[in-house]
Structure 1
């Protein structure tokens, strides 16, 4: 006998740019973004007449501020479903204590799980094939093993981004190669719903034509990326500023989604 699909009534999403929806623009929505979490909420809303959705994620946030600023606010909303991905921005700092990072995450996941809500966490993506971000592969692998332990300890479900080979296609990523593109967000929404055991009606957009792969085209694209993304990104690190400075949560309270 097939198990019945779960029905959720109060969904709260926590995190950084990944969950805020950066890379999936929509000027009709708060912060001008849609993203995978909105898409998941749209599907879940079809199964519950009293469905509410809040998204507390803010781009650029490190794990510590995510816990400090979003955890208690999320618990106060009494969700029955929580998604949280944090730590990606920490990986890109020159120094990182992964054990201390995940210990803080462990405490946060424990508090969320204690509410009785279904909790989803992510492994970090395996960017080993990428020119610059591939250098973070070792950090990501250690983080992933520790996060799996945390999920096991608290009964959280894992969205295993590390194993999603479809993201080796650059068309699944936005121009900055750091955030997912619209198809990338669509695919992630599907992956989340599959993890929850919920059927969906999401149709993936076309990825468009294959990217040019000859040496001259790759070099031109790499130079443009370095000039327009990497150098400004390094500049923010030096100045101690963040892309999330001045940005507020796009959905701070539970509300219907249309």
Structure 2
């Protein structure tokens, strides 16, 4: 099996940092799970880069994935979250871009798996707007997958992962527990007997104070706004963490 993951920070694994500072994430865990399930080495590449919009994911990243030698046997695709955070997000355009990727993978004989990202909207500024857009994009992507006979892993509709214990301090990216849950959902969606990862509930009565909220806006919201005003992205200047095949051994 040769597996390539394409996407943005969700697929890159942001929020699941190992003690040595490297980023892991659900796609790395899926590659390890596939190797363990088959009892053989899986060749794995992760071309995802944080901050990427859907168009460069289904052009630049997909171009690279389909040009790899030997060719991939499976690609996972998630994208559109960064598009939906911008004013004037065009759902029809996002679906057209996704369907183009579907057709390219089908023509190349590569198995494509579509994913929706987790729903962080409950704790984000303008979260209601984000949730409405996410619901619409998820439903449309599910319909697209059904029409083309593709696996679709609907993380956005997973109620469990909306809990605070699965999210990083920036409230936008999953933490290690969140990535572990996504990996278990993906492996189960691919037909492997996998128990969904679950964490213990938070103690009752916990709440954020005003100082914590002010610190959150200062450390995360304001820098994000500044990047948008300057037309910058958190992924500017970054390259994929696994641009070519790396072997993942069965554990």
Give TM-score, length-normalised by structure 1. Answer: 0.87
Secondary structure of the corresponding residue to residue 256 of structure 1: strand
Q: Which ranges of structure 1 fall in alignment gaps of 5 or more residues?
A: 1-8
Tell me the equivalent position of 1:63: 54
Tell me the equivalent position of 2:12: 20
Cα distance in 1, alignment partners of residues 248 and 116 from structure 2:
27
Cα distance in 2, alignment partners of residues 59 and 211 from structure 1:
34
Q: Which one of 129, 132, 143 corresponds to residue 122 of structure 2?
A: 129
- 1:240 Cα deviation after fit: 0.8
Cα distance in 2, alignment partners of residues 128 and 60 from structure 1:
17
Cα distance in 2, alignment partners of residues 56 and 207 from structure 1:
33
Given the superposition, is the C-alpha separation of residues 122 and 115 from structure 1 closer, same or farther in structure 2, using an over 3 Å criterion?
same
Q: Which one of 63, 68, 89 corresponds to residue 72 of structure 1?
A: 63
Secondary structure of the corresponding residue to residue 240 of structure 1: coil
The more displaced of 182-191 and 105-114 is 105-114
Given the superposition, is the C-alpha separation of residues 201 and 151 from structure 1 closer, same or farther in structure 2, using an over 3 Å criterion?
closer
> How many pairs does the alignment contain?
245
Taking the TM superposition and a 5 Å limit, the aligned residue runs for 1:1-258 are 9-26=1-18, 28=20, 32-46=22-36, 47-77=38-68, 78-132=71-125, 133-200=127-194, 210=203, 213-214=206-207, 217-258=208-249
Secondary structure of the corresponding residue to residue 156 of structure 2: helix
Q: Retained in 1: the 8 A contact 2:120–2:172?
A: no
Deviations, residues 111-142 of structure 1 (Å, cap 9, x unaligned)? 12333333211235444533423321221122
Give TM-score, length-normalised by structure 2. Answer: 0.89
- 1:242 Cα deviation after fit: 0.7
- 1:189 Cα deviation after fit: 0.5
Secondary structure of the corresponding residue to residue 162 of structure 1: coil
Tell me the equivalent position of 1:5: none
Deviations, residues 196-223 of structure 1 (Å, cap 9, x unaligned)? 011358976x558538634xx3433322
Q: Which ranges of structure 2 fall in alignment gaps of 5 or more residues?
A: none
The more displaced of 121-130 and 66-75 is 121-130
Cα distance in 2, alignment partners of residues 48 and 57 from structure 1:
26
